[in-house]
Amino acid sequence: MKALLIVDIQNDFLPGGALEVPNGDQVIEVINSVQSKYDLVIATQDWHPSLHQSFASQHIEHNVFDQIDLNGLEQVLWPDHCVQGTKGAELSDSLEQRTIEAVFRKGVDPLIDSYSGFYDNGRRKNTGLHGYLQDRSIAEVHVCGLAADFCVHFTAMDALSLGYRTVILSKATKPIDREQYMDKKQAFIQAGGLFF
């Protein structure tokens, strides 16, 4: 059984959003076109409380994109984005959602960020996604969405570590930083991941 994991196709990551991924809207048509090929379609959703500590606005001595230590973990400080209940946190209206069986929310704990759809960044808490996939007898996951160098990458790396045959759909993802993405792409391949 094979699942498609659609990562964070939310308004705040699309053109005009608070944390826009360059050309992020270009992946939606590709994602919509492949959904019918999978036994199971799942989505993730960044879902931050308004006072999330990964937001630069919560650290007056720091700026957006500064790196800090947040409870023992390296943390990039982001602009406020995907705040619970806001338009920016909603899945894009352009995304075909009728085939999405479940949506797993992440980043809900204000004290720790969560790039992966499986765990927070410290792997202290899980989202329930792994158990859901196990219950559905999923052996292979294909990951797509935004952004390639953050949430897609970390979701795919966790899927590999959990024993899934893992593929990133390269035409269905875009990075924030292309150079950083190339480094992470190599790490994913070295760990046994595949790109289609």
Does residue 144 carry a catalytic annotation?
Answer: no
**pLDDT above 90 (res 178):** no
Does residue 106 carry a catalytic annotation?
Answer: yes
- In the set 12, 80, 82, 106, the catalytic residue is 106
End-to-end CA distance of the chain: 18
Tell me: the pLDDT tens digits for 75-121? 999 999 999 999 999 999 999 999 999 999 999 999 999 999 999 99
- In the set 80, 120, 151, 174, the catalytic residue is 151
**pLDDT above 90 (res 155):** yes
Q: What kind of fold does domain 2-49+88-195 have according to CATH?
A: Rossmann fold (3.40.50)
CA nearest neighbour of 44 among 165, 137, 141, 155: 155
Q: CB under 8 Å to 132, separation ≥6 — which residues?
A: 42, 102, 104
Report the length, in residues, of the chain.
196
Tell me: the pLDDT tens digits for 119-150? 999 999 999 999 999 999 999 999 999 999 99
- Read off the pLDDT band of 38 (50, 70, 90): very high
Task: Dig out the tokens for 10 from the structure.
Answer: 């939310």
The pLDDT mean for the chain works out to: 97
**pLDDT above 90 (res 180):** no
CA nearest neighbour of 76 among 86, 84, 85, 66: 66
Task: Dig out the tokens for 37 from the structure.
Answer: 């090929």
